[in-house]
Amino acid sequence: MSVSEADDLPLFAPSKKVYPQSVSGPFRRLKWGLLVVCLAIYYLLPFLRWDRGPNLPDQAILLDLAHNRFYFFFIEIWPQEVYYFTGLLVLAAFVLFLMNAVAGRIWCGYLCPQTVWTDLFLAVERAFEGDRRERMQRDDAPWSADKLWRKGAKHLVWLMIAWWTGGAWVLYFADAPTLVRQLATLTAPGMAYVWIGILTFTTYALAGHMREQVCKFMCPWPRIQAALTDDEALNVTYRYDRGEPRVSVKQAARLRAAGQPAGDCVDCRQCIAVCPTGIDIRDGAQLDCIQCGLCIDACDTVMDKIGRPARLIGYDTEANLKRRQDGLAPVYRPLRLRTAIYAALILLVGGAMLYQLATRSTAGISVLHERTPLFVRLHDGSLRNAYTVRLLNKRPETRPFALSVAGLPGIGVEAVGVRATADFRPVIDVDPDSSREVRVLVTVPPGTPLEQSQVITFTASDLFAGEVVRTQDHFIAP
């Protein structure tokens, strides 16, 4: 090849459209079952009710942006408790790492939203345009009335699914039945229509048109998981120790009769035809493989027809391939140092979050010392500091909090504009599910030995429920 001919070659080979063929088998049935469960959860969960009492929303899962609350069944998360979301993200990462260490990209193959919606869109496509061969022939054929209505109907159903996908998403941010009525009568907030439009477009584009391109080029997980796996992780694997050399069924029979080696693979290419990313699993581990197991079903069907053992392609480990080549029995080690560390981290993070939830307070207190002036000397010689105290009430009813301050002898406390108890403690009423700020004056009588800065403790006690919250600040002296 001359230099000029080499310069004319394209840098990248053009991609070809993938036409996945339908297949039946245990892995396909598992994927159908998970698809139904995942879609049912996503579409129906906003309509699930959960009674939280009066004056609170009864939607089981609700991200209430208007009131800065997140409701998840009996759990209510406030904006300042964002660390729960951080914990969930960390927990999800460790679960994903553990799944990868045990069985490869099972998330990608069975539970990833891109996989679930792509499977749904493929099912619609097959319903209107037929299986792989029919779709390929129809795409190559000139336009006709039959081709037009089939493709038009397919895209219409795709758009309906995409529209409802976007519509279901916005239902998590408002009362679902109310928002559905508003959407139907065109009285919903404008932002709801904007987000439905965005998610309709992205779902239609990603699941209907981009499909395997998302997994190959857009998703970062294949690159990350390659650094997290090892030779003991289960992956969809072509058992080349059994499949090679590839020969036809008749030739394999002749070779075996003559006592010569013959592989079980008959090069039927069914594993390629059913692959949603269009790869050849026989080429070994590849970033494009999403580990969906459909090639296992396709290969098992062929092995059954030619009378050979199943699982020429199956979930296996690289270590076992080497063991079988050395004449050793396969060994499966799901419990090893890597998986034990991930499991321990999951238990640690999950346990910490559960403990925090179990011991979380439904009240809160914060104190801010006034800067100007830092202290005031009164006419009788006593010393006064002023503070802004914020009390937080996370419950759905009004709560009275009695405020006291300790840390110095003879210390006195006064809150501006509030009532007091019989023992002269200020009582601050905080409305349901809200916070309240009050100006608090702390006074120390004359003659009290003082340092320039001394720690004092603010305590707020719920007069009804008995819950107590505390915080500390400093009393400033000359």
In order, the DSSP letters of 93-133 are HHHHHHHHHHHSSHIIIII-HHHHHHHHHHHHHHHHH-SHH
For residues 99-124, give the mean pLDDT: 93
- Which CATH number do you get for residue 380? 2.60.40.10
The residue to which tokens 């080499």 are assigned: 6
CA dist 57 and 45 (Å) reads: 15
Residue 403 and residue 350 share a domain: no
Is 3 a domain residue? Answer: no
Is 376 within the bounds of a domain?
yes
Q: How many CA atoms lie within 13 A of 193 on its CB side?
A: 9
* CB neighbour list of residue 144: distance below 8 Å, 6 or more residues apart: none
Residue 2 has pLDDT above 70, yes or no: no
In the predicted model, is pLDDT for residue 470 greater than 80? yes
Same-domain check for residues 382 and 323: no
Asked if residue 117 is part of any domain, the answer here is yes
- Residues 6+ positions from 97 with CB-CB distance below 8 Å: 228, 342
What percent of the chain lies above the pLDDT cut of 70?
97
Burial of residue 313, with CB atoms counted within 10 A of its CB: 0-12 exposed, 13-18 middle, 19 or more buried: buried
Pure H helices in 239-315: 240-243, 249-257, 270-274, 294-306
Claim to verify: residue 165 and residue 267 sit in the same structural domain: yes
- Output the pLDDT for position 434: 84
Quick: pLDDT tens for 353-384: 999 888 888 889 999 999 888 899 998 889 99
36 and 168 share a domain?
yes
Rounded to 10 degrees, the C-alpha dihedral 245/251/254/260 comes to: -10
pLDDT of residue 308: 92
Tokens coding 154: 């397919």
Query: Would residue 131 count as lying in a domain?
Result: yes
Pure H helices in 331-409 = 337-359
* Mean of pLDDT values over 93-114: 92
Residue 468: domain span: 363-476
Q: Are residues 411 and 328 in the same domain?
A: no
User: Is 24 part of a structural domain of the chain?
Assistant: yes
If asked whether residues 175 and 275 sit together in one domain, one would say yes
The pLDDT value given to residue 9:
56
Of 360, 382, 415, the residue at which a domain comes to its end is 360
Q: Are residues 258 and 335 both part of a single domain?
A: yes
Checking if the pLDDT of 8 tops 70, the result is: no
Question: Does residue 391 belong to any structural domain of this protein?
Answer: yes
Binned at pLDDT 50, 70 and 90, residue 316 comes out as very high
Last residue of one domain, picked from the residues 360, 376, 397: 360
Q: Which residues contact 411 (CB under 8 A, 6 or more apart)?
A: 405, 442, 443, 444, 456
DSSP 188: S
User: In 3-state terms, what secondary structure has residue 342?
Assistant: helix
Tokens of 461: 């006690």
Nearest 5°: the CA angle 21, 234, 212 is 35
Q: Are residues 283 and 191 in the same domain?
A: yes
Does the pLDDT at position 14 exceed 80?
no
- 324 and 382 fall within a common domain: no
440, 386 in Cβ contact below 8 A?
yes
pLDDT higher for 390 or 229?
A: 390
Partnered with residue 474 across adjacent β-strands are: 455
- In-domain check, residue 2: no
Would you say residue 6 has pLDDT above 80?
A: no
Please give the residue that has the higher pLDDT: either 11 or 114: 114
Q: How far is CA 253 from CA 87, 248, 285, 354, in A?
A: 59, 9, 30, 62
Contact (Cβ atoms closer than 8 angstroms) between residue 94 and residue 100: no
What is the rounded average pLDDT of the residues 173-187? Answer: 92
71-85, 178-192, 365-379: the lowest-pLDDT one: 71-85
Q: What are phi and psi of 223, to 5 degrees?
A: -70, -35
Q: Are 376 and 429 in contact (CB under 8 A)?
A: no
- Distance between CA atoms of residues 77 and 74, nearest Å: 10
Look at residue 4 in the predicted model and tell me its pLDDT: 57
The residue out of 360, 380, 403 marking a domain boundary is 360
- For residues 118 and 247, state if they share a domain: yes
64 Cβ contact partners less than 8 Å away, ≥ 6 residues apart: 57, 70, 71, 173
Residues 6 or more apart in contact with residue 46 via CB below 8 angstroms = 59, 61, 168, 171, 172, 176
Note whether residue 1 is domain-resident: no
What Å distances lie between residue 9 and 16, 17, 24, CA to CA?
17, 21, 41
CA 276 to chain centre: 23
Q: How many domains does the chain have?
A: 2
The percent of residues above 90 in pLDDT, for the chain, comes to 61
Handedness of CA 35, 343, 291, 163 (dihedral sign): positive
Give me the chain's average pLDDT, please: 90
Shared domain check, 343 and 214: yes
Within this chain, do residues 332 and 419 fall inside the same structural domain, yes or no? no
Residue 195 pLDDT exceeds 60: yes
**For residue 101, which of 346, 347, 335 has the smallest C-alpha distance?**
335
Residue 124: name the closest of 164, 167, 155, 147 by CA: 155
